[in-house]
Each structure stands twice: as C-alpha cells, then as structure tokens.
C-alpha cells in the first residue's frame, strides 16, 4: 500500500514517523476523512476548507497548500489503483510534527502531513444506538474540530458494542443530545427535521452542511436546536450522517424501536442524486 508523507509517495512499510511527533505523543493534530466514488473525491473542497480553518484556529502552519494536499489525494488513489474503485476512503492527517518534550508549542514547528487510502464496503442499511457514558464538552475547542484525540469516541463505541448496539449516542455536558461516536444525528418530529446545535459540542459535519442546503430544496424544514433526551419519546424517525456512510436510518435507540420515516428515504434519494451529479462533473 502506497501512502503520501510530507510531499513524497512511498510504500507504507518503508516510511517512518518521528517518535517525537506531537501527534503521536500528545494528539496535537487534525484529520479529515473523505469518500471517493470511482476516483471522484466527494466534497473535496469543503473538506480542505474545514482543514484549513482548523489549522488556522490551532495555529498549525501547513507545510504545503490545501490545493497540493487535494491533488496528492487524487494521486494516491491512482498509485493504489483505487481510481476506479466503487468506494474508497481517504484520510488526511496533519500533526504539529516532532518537537522537544513538554506541552509548550514549538517555536518553529515542522508539521507532518500523512495521506492514506483504502477500499471500503457499502454503508450499513440501518443502525441501532444506545446512550453512552462519555459526554461532549461544548466548551472544548476540539469538540468542533476533527481533532486527533478520539478516546472518548472509541470508548463510547465500545460501550455501545458491549450493550448490543451498533453505535453510541453521546450527550453533551448539559445533558442534551449531541451526536454519535462518528456521525451527526437527525430526528424527525412529524415532518419537521431537527439536529443538535453546534452549541452542543458537535463536529459540524460536511454531510450535515450539505443537508442544510438540500432539505429546503425538496420542501423539508430543517432546524438545529438543543434537544433533550426526553424528546426521543416523541420522534417519528431518525438517521445519522457522515462522509463515509451518507445517510443511515436509525431503527432503535436505547431499546426503543424507531419507525422508518418516509421522508428519510426521499432525502437519501436526493442526496444520492447530488453525489451522482458531483461524479459527472469530475
């Protein structure tokens, strides 16, 4: 498997990450995960803009341009013969690079940029959720970033697995619904669609943003709100979204069956048309 590291293509078995890299030692870094369909990287510009905004926010200077990273992603698919794969994932990881011990930011950082890719299977048809113990912290800057520290997420995911669910439902520290371990969540209240506000410690997803543009075009009212768990007893449907799975209906939350809302299928169909159009433009 070929990878792209700091401007060069190489075999994954031959590369080396510096043991003093702050991404490994401190989780001091960011990442983006993107879906490629037959070599077309979906929402590539949006992912790069989010990465650029995040690096600016944490003061992490990129050693190359976002355009160069985007081009390297396409080249990496070609190198791994995934340019015609039905579905492939790309991950761009950026760290502050190797530095002396301690928490203080290095005066002259030498960031690490790593890009990897892999073929992936189809997205799940449905998903069950269970409320997990970890909480999202709305006051943490990293809650709104695709930041490397994912310990809370993976512990929540494992807790859900142990309880027989597909994924975890996370609340924020105020007790409101936030997200799943790796996806945004949407809830139907009749024909009205709601999703947790960015005030709830969520990562504003790329697919989430696409739905805010798409929903009004097909007559769906979509709002972001602070959603108390008690509202789950009144919902008429639910689904989750992220860049790799798209839109996946939720069929059960905390042991309660969630009905299939007819508008979820309509929204998913419109989203697939959006992706098809993006492929044709490539």
CB distance 4 to 76 below 8 Å: yes
Range(s) for CATH 3.20.10.10 in the chain? Answer: 127-281
pLDDT per residue as tens digits for the range 131-173: 999 999 999 999 999 999 999 999 999 999 999 999 999 999 9
Say if residue 278's pLDDT is above 90.
Answer: no
Say if residue 281's pLDDT is above 70.
Answer: no
* Among the listed residues 190, 204, 186, 157, the one whose alpha carbon sits nearest the alpha carbon of residue 247: 186
Range(s) for CATH 3.30.470.10 in the chain? Answer: 2-119
CB distance 165 to 130 below 8 Å: yes
Rounded to 10 deg, the angle between the 44-58 and 206-217 helix axes is 130
Model-level pTM?
0.95
pLDDT per residue as tens digits for the range 216-233: 999 999 999 999 999 999
Q: What tokens were used for 134?
A: 């970890």
Residue range 127-281, CATH number: 3.20.10.10
Contacts with 22 (C-beta within 8 Å, 6 or more apart), sequence order: 28, 29, 95, 96, 97, 98, 99, 106
Q: How confident is the model at residue 280 (pLDDT cuts 50, 70, 90)?
A: low
3-state secondary structure string across the chain: CEEEECCEEEEHHHCCCCCCEHHHHHCCEEEEEEEEECCEECCHHHHHHHHHHHHHHHCCCCCCCHHHHHHHHHHHHHHCCCCCCCCEEEEEEEECCECCCCCCCCCCCCCEEEEEEEECCCCCCCEEEEEEEEEECCCCHHHHCCECCCHHHHHHHHHHHHCCCCEEEEEECCCCEEEECCCEEEEEECCEEEEECHHHCCCCCHHHHHHHHHHHHCCCEEEEECCCHHHHHHCCEEEEEECCCEEEEEEEECCEECCCCHHHHHHHHHHHHHHHHHHHHC
Contacts with 277 (C-beta within 8 Å, 6 or more apart), sequence order: none
- Name the CATH architecture for the domain at 2-119: 2-Layer Sandwich (3.30)
């Amino acid at each position: 498997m070929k990878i792209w590291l700091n401007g060069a293509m190489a075999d994954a078995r031959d590369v080396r990450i510096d043991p003093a890299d702050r991404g490994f030692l401190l989780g001091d870094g960011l990442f983006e995960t993107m879906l490629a369909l037959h070599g077309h990287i979906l929402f590539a510009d949006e992912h790069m803009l989010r990465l650029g905004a995040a690096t600016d926010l944490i003061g992490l200077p990129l050693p190359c341009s976002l355009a160069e990273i985007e081009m390297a992603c396409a080249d990496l698919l070609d190198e791994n013969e995934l340019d015609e794969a039905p579905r492939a994932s790309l991950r761009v990881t950026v760290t502050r690079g190797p530095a002396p011990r301690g928490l203080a930011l290095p005066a002259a950082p030498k960031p690490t940029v790593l890009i990897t890719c892999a073929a992936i299977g189809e997205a799940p048809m449905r998903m069950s959720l269970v409320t997990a113990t970890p909480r999202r912290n709305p006051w943490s800057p990293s809650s709104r970033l695709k930041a490397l520290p994912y310990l809370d997420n993976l512990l929540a995911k494992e807790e859900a697995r142990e309880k027989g669910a597909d994924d975890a439902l996370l609340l924020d520290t105020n007790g409101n619904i936030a997200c799943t371990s790796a996806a945004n969540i949407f809830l139907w209240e009749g024909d009205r669609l709601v999703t947790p506000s960015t005030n709830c410690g969520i990562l504003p997803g790329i697919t989430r943003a696409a739905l805010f543009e798409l929903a009004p075009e097909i007559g769906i009212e979509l709002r972001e709100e602070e959603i108390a768990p008690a509202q789950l007893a009144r919902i008429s449907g639910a689904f989750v979204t992220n860049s790799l799975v798209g839109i996946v209906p939720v069929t059960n939350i905390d042991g309660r069956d969630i009905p299939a809302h007819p508008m979820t299928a309509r929204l998913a169909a419109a989203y697939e048309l959006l992706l098809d159009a993006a492929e044709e433009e490539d």
